[in-house]
Structure 1
Amino acid sequence: MEDAIKAVQGGASIRVASEQHNVKMSTLYGRLTGRTHIRGRPSIIPREKEKLLSNYAKSMADMGFGLSRVSLLYFTTASIQALAADLVRRETGQECPSLGKGWWRGFKRRHPEICVRRPRSLEEARARNASADTLHQFYDVLEKTISTYKLQPNHIWNCDEKGFNPDPLPSNVVASRTSRATHQQHRKSHDHITANVCVSAAGNSMPPHIIYNRKQLSPALVANGPPGAVYSTSTSGSMDGELFQDWFAKVFLANTSRDTPQLLIMDNHASHLKVATLDMARSSNVIFLALPSKTTHVLQPLDKAVFSSLGQHYQSVSAAARLVKPDHKLTIADFPKIFTEAYVKAVTPANILASFKQTGISPLDRLAVPPAALLPSTVHVATAQPEANVITPEDSDDDLVAQEPDIAAAIPGHSVHPLAQSMVSAGILSENTVQLFLTPVVSHSRLPSAAAQARTLTADSVFEALQERERQKQQKAAEKEARQLQRTQRRARPCTAAETASAAEATPPAEATPLAEATPPAAAVLPIDCALCGSPGAEKCTRCEFAFHNECTLAVSSSAGCLNCGPPL
């Protein structure tokens, strides 16, 4: 309504303004002529202050520190008590009351531009690394690579992995409003499946690579899958260096031409850094470009339109298949059929082109990533920027720096003390707990290493550094294996005559055991009575089962042994 009024004041007609801003023309006319009044009691906070509060809540959500409904109520109450207490007393003659659900409902009605959403988790490393400087460095490397090799959209590829559960739970189901708990039956299993997808900036796609957490493949796991799909197994069902090298040789090189340079954009996962794979790529005219670390949520094309659509279609197809099956349960043998249906619907040229466009990779657009996606990085102060395309074998502990994000300084007008006082007065937190939270805590975090920046993995400097790191790892592994072999040989080696003689001299001679204390080898101690004296605790002969004590046997015989079947042989 306010925007429509401003449009009319700027020269637009009432009809045009009402159509552009989706408000009734009669209501807009009444507001302009003063014939319409706002119904209900006036809000305890002036409208202009509520607008500032709405903007503050939206800015906090953009930076990754969104306020819940309860937090917003506490913050608003504290702000009123700290900034507008005198005004409330002067107009109402009472102390400022605490705000409740009624004010919240009215606040949402007066400001329809805000809503309550469930936030997605964003780890601190991703919030810090997805900065404007990191993106500029990536686009610099990308632009230089494209111009150097004169790459076209059909020469730019992106590969990534996505995990699947054979029997996923539906997100929402229709149930009774009065039921407090709604359940969904499914099979409990530890099955995990990974699909490696590769697409080009021209809208093309390669056959997927599906990995099961199995030791061997059964015919049911490869039947009715996507055309040309490649199947593998691993212990965890995830991608590793050997499987990525096998996929690169059998799928990527088989679907591309070696006469023209090919650019493969991927993340910094350890499975992509195998020296043998990089050597194969260098000899096959393929350039590996690694995305900056912890920035795939804004720069990975497949994570945008393709994988999101693939996950939604996989959920819907799984729900439909669960209804079709008689037992309403899905197994790992049903995955190929369900994945094929979802893959055909999601991995389309339209979704692929939209993915590359949203990340600004093709066509190259440095402003494609919206500024709102980079706002969480503004609360983290970067103390140093490493050079691009340089990698060290191991990061040293000297990279540790004391770093404390100052959220209050990044948000104008934000003060934590009134909010803390409101928490204490409401009984949510005690004064001692508030003091502990307000005490500055120095957090140590590592500076981003050179590996965290965008880099061409097949470049000479990076490839040589990776070779050196691989050589050091192999050397350490060989040294460890040699030490283990030496320990094993020392334990298994027979003693020499000199070592045996020295050990005998160092060991005192054992005392001779009297014959009466010797244990007959043919007798076994059993809780039975003695046949000679009748007392319990007799030993039973293992040959004739005659029970006796050793003392009783020596009393009637000169040799230890069984009195029934004779001394032991």
Structure 2
Amino acid sequence: MHYGLSLQQLLVLANEFAEYSGCKYPESRKKNKCAGKGWSRGFRMRNQELTPRKTENTSAARSFAFNRTTVNNFFDNYERVMLRYNFAPDRIINLDETGVTTVLSTPKVLAEKTQRQVEQMMSAERGELVIFCGIVTATGVALPPVYVFPRVHFKDHFLNGTPVGSLGLSNISGWMTAELHVDVLKHIQRHTSCTKDNPILIICDNHESHISIQAVIFCRDYGIVYLSLPPHTSHKLQPLNVSVFGPFKSRLKTVFNDWHIRNFGLEKLYPSII
């Protein structure tokens, strides 16, 4: 698990197995010490359920943290919370953050086959990271998102074109902090009108920026029940991470590219952001 065979590794193993089994094979294999392209084509014809796939980088911590015991413990906690509060789906909120760079890779374009290199003008070769905080209920309704900009001071025009009601925050690093997370909780409270008598459930990871005395006190005073995901499991258990942020970023690449084409040469829209 988590360690697949590349095509080259498969060819080497096939050759080693042929030698071990005493099978006859072409002399060229002895020199190359791997099976050839013909064997590779035949193998894939015989095993059509197998296909080359691009792997997704997964840290060892994530691989080992996602296990039956950890997942069962989380759903046991979730069950206890639901039995106690009986939250309706529209009162269950998934909260997660993802980084979006201001310079994304461009989509494929049509070009002549003989053209060795295809270039496209961008605002910069390297972008800056903006944190996008998605807030979506279990019914699929999205609350206005939160953006964290890598700036000392936030400017209102940073939110030009964003969904109505979006919240803009900033700090010098551009990352979520414990102080900014309290602002996110206040943003959610304003849009859900949650109280002790009409609480909500927030499901979020247990990143250190989400844990502070100020956050605990605010949640207690405004009826926010906080259920954290086990460490290093949000890539499997957080719905936004599993099925929302991927398509969102794919669509964003196209939108960014279209915007740059329509606004070629435009400067100073967002200082050093776009």
1: CA distance, partners of 2:62 / 2:100: 23
Moved more, 207-216 or 186-195: 186-195
Deviation at 1:220, TM superposition (A): 3.2
Distance across 2 between alignment mates of 1:104 and 1:330: 54
CA deviation profile, 1:352-390 (whole Å, cap 9, x unmatched): xxxxxxxxxxxxxxxxxxxxxxxxxxxxxxxxxxxxxxx
**Residue 160 of structure 1 pairs with residue 80 of structure 2:** no
- SS for the counterpart of 2:148 is strand
For residue 292 of structure 1, the aligned residue among 219, 230, 253 is 230
Equivalent residue letter for 2:185: F
In structure 2, what is the equivalent of residue 137 of structure 1? 73
- Pair 1:190–1:331, CA change in 2 (3 A): farther
CA distance change for structure 1 residues 330 and 126 in 2, over 3 Å: closer, same or farther? farther
AA aligned opposite 1:118: K
8 Å Cα contact 1:281-1:287 kept in structure 2: yes
Which of 210, 216, 241 is 1:272 aligned to?
210
Change (3 A) 1:162 1:332: farther
2:113 aligned partner = 177
How far the C-alpha of 1:331 sits from its partner, in A, is 6.6
CA distance in 1, matches of 2:265, 2:211: 44
SS of 2:94's partner is strand
Where does residue 22 of structure 1 map in the other structure?
Answer: none
The 5 Å alignment of 1:219-234 reads 219-234=156-171
2:9 is the counterpart of 1:71: yes
Matched residue pairs, number? Answer: 268
Partners of 2:127 and 2:273 within 8 A in 1: no
Check if 1:304 corresponds to 2:239: no
> Partner of 1:115 in structure 2?
51
The structure with higher relative contact order (CA 8 Å, sep 6+) is 2
Residues 93, 291 of structure 1: alpha-carbon distance in 2 compared, 3 angstrom cutoff: closer
Question: Which position in structure 1 is the counterpart of 2:130?
Answer: 193
1:174 and 1:333, CA in 2 relative to 1: closer, same or farther beyond 3 A? farther
1:208 aligned residue: 145
CA deviation vs aligned residue, 1:97-139 (integer Å, no higher than 9, x gap): 6511121122223322111122111111111011111111111
Code of the aligned partner of 2:212: K
> Which residue of 46, 49, 61 maps to 1:125?
61
Q: For the structure 1 residues 315 and 96, does the alpha-carbon distance in structure 2 shift closer, same or farther, using more than 3 Å as the test?
A: closer
Matches within 5 A, 1:14-93: 63-82=1-20, 84-85=21-22, 88=23
Local SS of the residue matching 1:326: coil
Q: Retained in 2: the 8 A contact 1:80–1:96?
A: no
- What amino acid is the match of 2:106? P
SS of the residue corresponding to residue 212 of structure 1 reads strand
Structure 1, gaps ≥5 residues long: 1-62, 337-569
Counterpart AA for 2:261: L
**Contact (CA 8 Å) 1:169, 1:184: kept in 2 or not?**
no
SS in 2 for 1:304: helix
CA distance in 1, matches of 2:37, 2:70: 43
Q: Pairwise mapping of residues 125-524 of structure 1 onto structure 2 (< 5 A)?
A: 125-186=61-122, 187-189=124-126, 191-249=128-186, 251-256=187-192, 257-258=194-195, 259-327=197-265, 332=270
| Alpha-carbon distance, 1:330 to partner | 10
Return the alpha-carbon distance in structure 2 between the equivalents of residues 197 and 255 of structure 1.
14
TM-score with structure 1 length normalisation?
Answer: 0.44
Distance in 2 separating the partners of 1:207 and 1:255: 8
Where is the helix percentage greater, Structure 1 or Structure 2?
A: 1
- The verdict on how the C-alpha distance between 1:332 and 1:110 changes in structure 2, with shifts beyond 3 A counting, is farther
Normalising by structure 2, we get a TM-score of 0.88
Distance 1:93 1:198, change over 3 A: closer
CA contact (8 A) 1:192 1:236 kept: no
The equivalent residue for 1:452 is none
CA contact (8 A) 2:134 2:146 kept: yes
Q: Which has the larger radius of gyration?
A: 1
Q: RMSD in angstroms over aligned alpha carbons?
A: 2.6
Structure 2: gaps (5+ residues): none
Deviation at 1:96, TM superposition (A): 7.8
> 2-side partners of 1:208 and 1:194: how far apart?
10
Separation of aligned partners in 1, 2:104 and 2:28: 54
